Amino acid sequence: MTKADIVNEVAKATGLEKIAVQSVIESFMDNVKDSLAKNKNVYLRGFGSFIVKKRAKKTARNISKNTTLIIPAHNIPAFKPAKVFMSKVKSNVK
């Protein structure tokens, strides 16, 4: 499902115009990105959490050049689904 599909589904379900729905969805995504960039997690009860995970510094190898690289510590965005969400997805096995 793409962002356009989500906009269409929400517009159909709410009766709002697609332009308004797209604006709301874009604003939501911008707020999530801004919060994670500021190292603040976003919690949506019943859906899940957008969290910032910290990756430790590590050593990697480039096998083709036989060199060693140091990858510095860094943050990455992650999504942790809520238990209700997980159980719904797990029970939908065909």
How buried is residue 7: exposed, middle or buried, by Cβ count under 10 Å (0-12/13-18/19+)?
Answer: buried
pLDDT at site 72:
95
**Regions of the chain short of the pLDDT cut 70:** 93-94
At which residue do the structure tokens 């729905």 appear? Answer: 21
| Whether 56 and 90 share a structural domain | yes
| Whether 24 and 51 share a structural domain | no
pTM of the model: 0.79
Chain centre distance of CA 75: 14
Q: Which domain holds residue 92?
A: 41-94
| Whether 51 and 89 share a structural domain | yes
pLDDT at site 94:
63
| Whether 52 and 93 share a structural domain | yes
pLDDT at site 92:
74
Domain count, the chain: 2
Q: Among 64, 38, 67, 62, which residue's Cα sits nearest to residue 50?
A: 38
| Whether 25 and 46 share a structural domain | no
| Whether 49 and 34 share a structural domain | no
Q: Among 37, 41, 14, which residue's Cα sits nearest to residue 25?
A: 14
Torsion sign across C-alpha atoms 79, 3, 26, 22 = negative
| Whether 26 and 50 share a structural domain | no
